[in-house]
Structure 1
Amino acid sequence: MPALSSEFKIIAIDGGAAVGKSSTSKGLAERLDLMHVDTGAHYRTITFALLATGASPEDDLQDTLAALDLKTHLDRRTARLCIDGRVPTEVEIRSPEVNASVSKFAAIPAVRQSLFEYQRNQANVGREEGFRGLIMEGRDIGSIIFPDAQHRFFLEADEATRAARRAKEGQTDSIADRDKMDKARKTAPLVCPEGAIRVDTGPRSLEEVIEHIINLIGTGNTSD
Structure 2
Amino acid sequence: MSKKDFIIIAIDGGAAAGKSSTSRALSSRFNLMHVDTGSFYRATTVKLLEAGVPAEAGDALNAGLANLELGTYIDENSAYIVVNDWIPDESIRSEEVNANVSHYAAIPELRKFLFDYQREQATIAQEEGFAGLVMEGRDIGSVIFPDADLRLYLYADPAKRAARRAAEGLADSIEKRDAMDANRKTAPLSVPEGATLVDSSELTLEEVVEHVSGLVENAYQK
Same fold (TM over 0.5): yes
Q: Kindly state the Cα deviation for residue 8 of structure 1 after the two structures are TM-superposed.
A: 1.2
Per-residue deviation, 1:218: 2.2
Superposition RMSD on alpha carbons, in Å?
1.0
User: Secondary structure, in 3 states, of the residue corresponding to 2:163?
Assistant: helix
* Aligned residue number for residue 116 of structure 1: 115
CA distance in 2, matches of 1:125, 1:188: 24
Distance 1:59 1:144, change over 3 A: closer
The residue identity in structure 2 corresponding to 1:83 is V
Tell me the residue number matched to 1:146: 145
Aligned match of 1:198: 197
Q: 2-side partners of 1:116 and 1:59: how far apart? A: 17
Alignment correspondent of 1:46: 44
CA-to-aligned-CA distance 1:138-165 (integer Å, 9 cap, x gap): 0000000000000000000000100000
Equivalent residue for 2:24? 26
Structure-2 separation of matches of 1:97 and 1:13: 26
Q: Is the 8 A contact 2:57 2:107 kept in 1?
A: no
Q: Deviations over 1:164-197 (max 9, x none)?
A: 0011001011011001000000000000000000
CA contact (8 A) 2:23 2:135 kept: yes
Per-residue CA shift, 1:67-89, capped at 9, x if unaligned? 20000011111100000001120
CA–CA distance in structure 2, aligned partners of residues 88 and 147 of structure 1 = 27
User: Could you tell me which amino acid in structure 2 is paired with residue 62 of structure 1?
Assistant: N
C-alpha deviation, 1:58, in angstroms: 2.9
SS at structure 2 position matched to 1:179: helix
In the alignment, is residue 209 of structure 1 matched against residue 195 of structure 2?
A: no
Amino acid paired to 1:191: S
Residues 92-131 of structure 1 aligned to structure 2 (within 5 Å): 92-131=91-130
2:143 touches 2:187 (CA, 8 Å); kept in 1?
A: yes
Q: Distance in 1 between matches of 2:103 and 2:39?
A: 15
Question: Which amino acid counterpart does residue 20 of structure 1 have in structure 2?
Answer: G
- Aligned 8 A contact 2:11 2:135 in 1: yes
Shift of 1:6: 3.8
Helix, strand or coil: the match of 1:37?
Answer: strand
AA matched with 1:186: K
Matched position secondary structure for 2:39: helix
SS at match of 2:208: helix
Question: CA offset at residue 59 of structure 1?
Answer: 5.6
Q: Which consecutive residues of structure 1, in runs of 5 or more, have no partner in the other structure?
A: none
Stretches of structure 2 that go unaligned for 5 or more consecutive residues are: none
